[in-house]
Amino acid sequence: MKVDIVAKEIIKPSSPTPDNLRSFKLSLFDQLAPAVYGPMIFFYPNGDTTHHAFLADQQSHHLKKSLADTLTRFFPLAGRIKDNFTIDCNDYGVGCVEARVNCLLSEILEHLDLEALNQFLPFELDSTESSTDSLILVQSTFFNCDGVAIGVGLSHKLTDGATYGTFLKGWSATALGVGDTVVPLFNASSLFPPRNLSTMTSMALNFSKEKCVLRRLVFAAPKIDALKAITASPGVQNPTRAEAVTALIWKCALNAARSNSRILRPSLLSQSVNLRSQIVPPLPENTIGNLGAHISARKDESEIELQGLVREIRRGKQDFSKKYVKKLQDDAFKAITETFKEAVSMFKSRDIEFYKLTNMSNFPFYEIDFGWGKPTWVTISGATLKNLVKLMDSREGDGSIEALVILSEKDMTLFECDKELLAYASLNPSLLKLNPMRPMTPLLTSSL
């Protein structure tokens, strides 16, 4: 498969940003976030193969116009980072790429090559381009007759998972003609003002550059129900879907790491959490910016068992709610500084097996409709950090979960053959066998 770039342009907001909004202040959480792009790819089938070229031109025009209209409301994302305090909102615009690929979307979905999916993204993984250039990059890749892939990258400097979801919902609503139903709120810096972080510059995190591999796992809803039943205990009587799946992945990954190293190191699982619902009073989900923190679950050197891991995951959530959130609201800078120092210490320690979890299983990404129906598949593929796990809902919408797991080559060799794991998960199943492609609706064609 070869993806050919056919056009590049800058999409600016369809109306100018008022002068009084030209300087946007970052929050304390934004200051600490890296200027890397968060990747997502949406795959949409096309029911009209007879007039494919004409339809592709329509889709491209519609995407760019609706993006320009969306940027008028999400104006900081059309700006440029000035420094670690400010975004210059002078309507510089966002990068938009159009591409063609001489194969069928159905071929991609039938035989998924996770590494090849990066060609549908308009940036290199782990790129820091957003520190000086576009905060959003978009690539529309049109397949030979049967669909389109929309690859999106939003700079982590201003977006966490919730902001990513809000922007996509806003763009989708605009494309459907109801853009005023999604209104972003830009008040995070008033709640968590930026600070001078010069004392923290010496604490930069150095992630492992070890060769890693990526695998996709699908946990069907009935399997998750069975997994929840065996992970339940008096301490956690009703594990969540994510807790049960996370515990199993953590156990199998840690078993693989211990088998290869022959050392019983303790392990730490760090999971990102949305602060909007934790703060008192809660913040609306459409509050823009980085408003996340990390909860930790720890496993000592003893034998690993699923119920114990679930208890540790739940205990980490409870400790976070009781301790960190109160500290955060009393003195945000002190709380964040202390937590950051602890994280750096753990990262630098070679005596801990560290795992990072991103859970996006409750985000409605399969509702993102640009005018021709819902996607047939959505993936958050990308990133190459060792011991990273990403969860999101599968397209069936029945409670199934799709997991992307990144481990070292040696650990993955053992992990993907673990019998306990494979009793509950399918390894990279074909998307067409699970659910045939649904053709696009004619809404876009009739509206242009």
Catalytic site residues? Answer: 156, 369
Q: Give the pair of three-digit tokens for residue 283.
A: 């913040």
Q: H/E/C letters for each residue in 359-382?
A: EECCCCHHHCCCCCCCCCEEECCC
**Tell me, what amino acid is at 249?**
I
Torsion on CA atoms 294, 188, 203, 212, rounded to nearest 10: 50
| 326: CB partners within 8 A, 6+ apart | none
Instruction: Single out the residue of 91, 63, 93 nearest to residue 168, CA to CA.
Output: 63
Q: Measured over all CA atoms, what is the biggest interatomic distance in the chain, rounded to whole angstroms? A: 63
The token pair that represents 34 in the structure block: 């890296």
Amino acid at 74: F
C-alpha dihedral, 30 to 36 to 41 to 42, nearest 10°: 30
Closest CA to 353 of 422, 297, 414: 297
Closest by CA position to 186, among listed 18, 363, 11: 18
Give Cβ neighbours of residue 74 (< 8 Å, ≥ 6 apart): 167, 170, 184, 288
- Give the span between the Cα atoms of 361 and 277, in whole angstroms: 16
* DSSP result, 296-360: EEEE-SS---HHHHHHHHHHHHHHIIIIIHHHHHH-HHHHHHHHHHHHHHHHH-TTSEEEEEEEE
Three-state DSSP class for 85? coil
Considering only CA atoms, which of 247, 197, 206 is closest in space to residue 346? 206
Structure tokens at 192: 């968590």
| Number of neighbouring beta carbons within 10 Å of residue 52 | 16
Tokens of 373: 């129906």
Tokens 């560290």, residue located = 354
